[in-house]
Structures are given as structure tokens and as C-alpha cells.
Amino acid sequence: MQNWKTSKAVRCSSLKVFGGNSASATTRIILGALISQDLSLKYNWFERNGKEVFSKLINVCKLILMVVRKNPICMDCTKKEVESHIKP
């Protein structure tokens, strides 16, 4: 567990430099930094069209939320708001 917390902190600090001028832009930038285009085509927020379920990647979702909230513009973003920018 400690290893995950340490690596999560390192990832968060390296991803927060990407920034963005809104919650939507920041979320999209972080997603683009974490997930390749090919991989993103294999996932959907909900189980549709035989794709894998992105929302089940709980640690990735938590990391995205944490990094988005590191942006001073998005500090008060809710989980629901960030998820709405991930969903199609």
C-alpha cells in the first residue's frame, strides 16, 4: 500500500505540470498524457459496444481527479464534474 501512495504522489506531481484553463481542458490533457489513442479506443465509461469499462479503473480515476484538483483553477472540482469530462 505504501508503494502505491509513493508512486501515486510521484505521478501526480509529474502530471500536474500539464495544466489547463478549465476542468474540461485539464481532464482531457491528463487523459491524453496517461492513455494512448489506441488504448482509449478500447475503453468506454460504461460497458458498451464490447469495450472495457473505464470507470472500473478506480486508481486511474482517482489519479485523474487528484491531478485535476492540483490545478488552481480546478481546486473545487467535484468528482462528478471530472467524470462528466471523461464520459462521452
* pLDDT of 12 strictly over 70: no
19: left (phi over 0), alpha (psi -120 to 50) or beta: left
CA angle centred on 13, ends 10 and 17, rounded to 5°:
145
Tell which wins on pLDDT, 14 or 40.
40
Q: What residue segments make up the domains of the chain, in order of their start?
A: 2-77
Q: What is the pLDDT of residues 26-82, one digit of tens each?
A: 999 988 888 888 888 888 877 778 888 888 888 888 888 988 998 889 999 999 999
DSSP characters for the chain?
-HHHHHHHHHHHHHHGGG--SSHHHHHHHHHHHHS-HHHHTTEESSS-TT-EEGGG-HHHHHHHHHHHHHSGGGTT--HHHHHHHH--
pLDDT at 42: 86
Stretch 13-26: mean pLDDT, rounded?
80
* pLDDT of 4 strictly over 60: no
